[in-house]
Structure 1
Amino acid sequence: MRRKLIYFLALICGALGIYEACAVVIAYNKLSHQFAPYASVKLKDLGLNERRQEILIKIQDPTFFEHAGIEWPNPLTTTTITQSLVKKLFFDKFTKGFKKIEQTLIASFVVNPNISKEVQLVTFVSTAYFGEKDGKQLFGFNQGARSWFNKSLSELNDDEYLSLLAMLPGPNILKPNTVASRERVRRIKLVLNGECIYDHVSQIFLEQCSAR
């Protein structure tokens, strides 16, 4: 009986391995098409100057330029910029569990080795989700800026930009001019001023800054 159980479990593991391997191959075949609209765009063309690019990386994914698409030791419980792109571009409907494993594999073995960090950032800035307003879902920093502040991204002042950036972990909860948004912006400023340590995307909610 025990031998049958071990054999059965081995079959399941083998089948899951094949499934995930196929998912990676399918993603690789879609790679060029999915990133084609962003390959020749520059961040400055989107209205994001160098300083604000640095702030984006520092707050959204502080080890972005160092990691290989995922951040250890918790790649299945965190979401890097690369994993976020995989979720948007390669899944019609994303759920936790096996989809998270698939997302992590695609980020690490498909997107990160083949898509430059700059193109990844351009794609993120162009596709990031900024909640829903007046029944319309908002995607991309520029659409977020237009909808929430009636300005282009380049026209935002520093506090408005930080309010937009603050939305990313929970866009429909952290809407600008709410108590939750103001508190997150306060924590972001602590990080930027060097008053609170934030080194890994697993700390993205900045709970370590809450009491300061």
Structure 2
Amino acid sequence: MKIALKLTATFVTLLIVAALSYAAVGYFDAVRDADNLQQRANSLISKGSGGDALGNVRYRQILMVQDPKFEQHSGVDMMTPGAGITTITQSLAKRVGFEKFKPGIGKIRQTGYALGLESQLSKDQILALWLDTVEMGKGPNGWMTGFHKASQTIYGQQPHEVEDEQFLSLVAVLIAPAKYNLGKDDAALQQRIDRISKLLSGECSPKDNSDVWLESCAK
């Protein structure tokens, strides 16, 4: 019995060490990539494609839906209601740190990469890169990538210029871009917009960390 317990403890220890090592690989890969990512982010910001270009109100709205504690956390947040298991920084890590991201064990390196990004890039730089790389669903010319680009493609204006409902539709598709039809009459998309509207107005709040679909705002 004692031998079995010792073997189990050893196996668990090895798994933990392996996980930490894999996370460390992601961290140092992000540090290595940081210079290029900083330059890319600064270029986006200078061209008006960063988070500040949304305007303060809409900047706050997108964070409230996607990552409420973005400005406070260091890349990981498993506690905040509505945040889910993937922060904006982790989402960015999946897009810029992998040739092809695979869920499961890839989450370990993704988290390490996110921590590395947070150690090297400013929040403004991270958000600018995230906005430029998010998937926005199918548009008139095929699959769309980039929040600002999708706004221009669908509505002919930048996110700070569109109507409130149009802006919320851009935010709404982020959770599942293949599920919704941006710029079209889509009942499912409208339902998502309605829930987000209630959240932003204070009529409801996520029930826990996993409530990314805002089920608590469905009533």
TM class by shorter-chain length?
Answer: 0.7 to 0.9
Q: Give 1:151 shift.
A: 3.1
- Contact kept, 8 Å, 1:130 with 1:171, in 2: the verdict is yes
Q: Could you tell me how far apart the structure 1 residues matched to 2:48 and 2:214 are? A: 30
CA distance change for structure 1 residues 207 and 199 in 2, over 3 Å: closer, same or farther?
Answer: closer
Structure 2 length as normaliser, TM-score? 0.82
Query: In the alignment, what sits opposite 1:80?
Result: 87
- The percent identity for this pair of structures is 29
- TM-score, reference length from structure 1: 0.84
Q: Deviations over 1:101-158 (max 9, x none)?
A: 11112212x1112211111121222222101235622111122113322333333111
1:82 corresponds to which letter in structure 2?
T
In the other structure, the counterpart of 2:56 is 50
3-state SS of paired residue (2:138): strand
Q: What amino acid is the match of 1:186?
A: D
2:109 maps to which of 97, 102, 108: 102
Residue 39 of structure 1 and its aligned partner are, at CA, apart by 2.2
Is 1:39 matched with 2:42? yes
Unaligned runs of 5+ in 1: none
Please tell me the residue identity of whatever aligns with 2:196: I
Gaps of 5+ in 2: none
Aligned residue among 174, 178, 189 for 1:181:
189
Aligned residue runs from structure 1 range 1-212, under 5 A? 2=4, 14-42=17-45, 45-46=48-49, 47-73=53-79, 78-108=85-115, 110-134=116-140, 136-176=142-182, 177-198=185-206, 202-211=210-219
Counting matched residue pairs gives 208
List structure 1 segments (4+ residues) > 3 angstroms apart after TM superposition.
Answer: 1-20, 40-44, 198-202
Structure 2: how far apart are the matches of 1:16 and 1:183?
39
* DSSP-derived class of the 2:91 partner: helix
Deviation at 1:15, TM superposition (A): 4.5
